[in-house]
Amino acid sequence: MTVTKNPLRDGWTLIVKRECATCVMVVPVIARLARELPSLTVYTQDDPTFPEGVAAVNDLDLAASWHADIDTVPTLIFRASGVETARTAGWLRSEWRELTGIADLGAELPEFRPGCGSMSVDPDIVDKLRVRFGGESLHARRIDIAEAEDEFEAMFSRGFTDGLPVVPPTPERVMRMLSGTSRAPQEVVAIAPPDLVELTVEKIAINAVMAGCLPEYLPWVIAAIEAICTDEFNMHGVLATTMPVGPVIVCNGPGTRAIGMNSGVNVLGQGNRANLTIGRAVQLIIRNVGGGRPGEVDRAAHGNPGKLSFCFAEDEVGSPFTSLAVSRGFDATQNTVTVFTGEGPRCVVDQLAREPEHLAQTLAACLRTVHHPKLPFAFDAMLILGPEHARVFALANWGRERVLQEINVRLQLPGAEIVRGAGGMAEGVQEAFKDATLPKFRPGGLLLVHAGGPAGLFSAIVGGWVNGAPGSDPVTRILNA
């Protein structure tokens, strides 16, 4: 990256372009200013011969426009002792007269004309300018690709992908991604397992580019990384287990709607850029920076498609319940991510239940099968309640706590049914628990989320991993933009 010094000098500076009708209109004013303001420097963005009859400085590389932070042309600036003290953009006769002290300036022109957009803020080139002139350089190692080499195939051959094509993280794209956060590029966000590598905002941004994120998604990726790189979540253990689990990311808050996340139809499926790329970025970061690659530290016997990306927003607007984040002690106005170690989702079908007790019985019967109907307490689960099932509970005035309570009451397992050998299954608890009653889930081990399409009497269950100190606990983090 080339970083240039601000070329603007003390005195008057005017920045124009020929393609701007207002700039063309004020050419007579520019000619007069050139005669009466000895310190005037005119920069032209697009045509070195413009304005005619005035000696102008070529700003085709837009260095002066970039350093002067020009968003509209024409812009007239005055600087003294290296500091800008006044500016006006567009043409407003009264402002130009006041700024220059020329009482009859532009008498022949209309009182006001808006200017045009500066070329330095053109979306097609602003990222290149940010790389060329920005004061904050990128620190990541550069990888050169031969001119004849296909950049997408190069990413595959170097092992940087999750099996699908990734977006090449050019400096321009990375700088654009970094515009999505106010955090410094070299700020260390977390220590990435399993290799315990420092994860800077820049490294996160690089992988967010590769995943296909937009800049406004970056704070969500950062928050998810902060959550999974904790002792409570135990990402190293999540990688190393032979069970088919990975991070499940549930997003809450008004920001989910601002960035267009899906909480409704096909919420756990394809088609939504924010959902899929945020989750994918988290996985790529752990793979590419942390070293968590399948067949190496990642020892999953089967894995699941959610290990590519498993991220969605809760439907808070349409929910009859408090949100997952609120139930975990956060405010509904806060943007949060909750990470949970889970397998792929399984569907719960109950088309006939119209009484809450009947639906609770169905959900409990299906939840009992996580990960085996005879294994209690050790595994958490997430119940993603669809809107039509949620309506059954809402009509009976059952809130979140009542729903969970009624389901858990139906998940008290008699020891005689779940000891080893009972029901013709060798799996189960030890004989010592034959006379006990054991809960399927520990207190708080069943998480409830409201999401999905409005039509269809379905819900979904996501089975968890070993909970507590030997395994993983859910973690919630607030976004820090």
Length, in residues, of the chain: 481
Residue spans of the domains in the chain: they are 11-132, 155-478
Indicate if the pLDDT at residue 350 is higher than 60. yes
- Which residue type sits at 464? G
What confidence tens digit (pLDDT) does each residue in 279-295 have? 999 999 999 999 999 99
What confidence tens digit (pLDDT) does each residue in 384-393 have? 999 999 999 9
pLDDT band for position 131 (50/70/90)? confident
User: Which pTM was predicted?
Assistant: 0.85
pLDDT band for position 3 (50/70/90)? very low
CA separation for the pair 188, 253 (Å, rounded): 25
Question: Quick one: how many helices (H) and strands (E) in the chain?
Answer: 17, 21
What tokens appear for 339 in the block?
A: 């990470």
What tokens appear for 99 in the block?
A: 């700024």
What tokens appear for 303 in the block?
A: 């894995």
Q: Which pLDDT score, from 0 to 100, does residue 139 have? A: 82
- Which residue type sits at 182? S
pLDDT band for position 5 (50/70/90)? low
| CA-closest candidate to residue 445, choices 371, 373, 381, 361 | 381
What tokens appear for 275 in the block?
A: 């959902």
What confidence tens digit (pLDDT) does each residue in 16-68 have? 999 999 999 999 999 999 999 999 999 999 999 999 999 999 999 999 999 99
pLDDT band for position 2 (50/70/90)? very low
- The CA dihedral of 98, 104, 108, 109, to the nearest 10 degrees, is 0
> Could you tell me if 435 and 416 are in contact, meaning their C-beta atoms sit under 8 angstroms apart?
yes
Q: DSSP 3-state assignment of 243?
A: coil
CA separation for the pair 425, 420 (Å, rounded): 7
CA separation for the pair 80, 97 (Å, rounded): 19
The percent of residues above 70 in pLDDT, for the chain, comes to 98
Mean pLDDT of the chain: 95
- Which residue type sits at 150? D
Indicate if the pLDDT at residue 1 is higher than 50. no
CATH (residue range 11-132): 3.40.30.10
Q: Which pLDDT score, from 0 to 100, does residue 135 have? A: 57
Indicate if the pLDDT at residue 243 is higher than 90. yes
Q: Which pLDDT score, from 0 to 100, does residue 138 have? A: 82
What confidence tens digit (pLDDT) does each residue in 185-230 have? 999 999 999 999 999 999 999 999 999 999 999 999 999 999 999 9
| CA-closest candidate to residue 238, choices 306, 137, 181 | 306
What tokens appear for 428 in the block?
A: 């189960």
What confidence tens digit (pLDDT) does each residue in 98-120 have? 999 999 999 999 999 999 999 99
What tokens appear for 239 in the block?
A: 């990688």
From residue 312, alpha-carbon distances to 39, 163, 292 in Å are: 58, 21, 23
What are phi and psi for residue 220, nearest 5 degrees? -70, -40
What confidence tens digit (pLDDT) does each residue in 424-472 have? 999 999 999 999 999 999 999 999 999 999 999 999 999 999 999 999 9
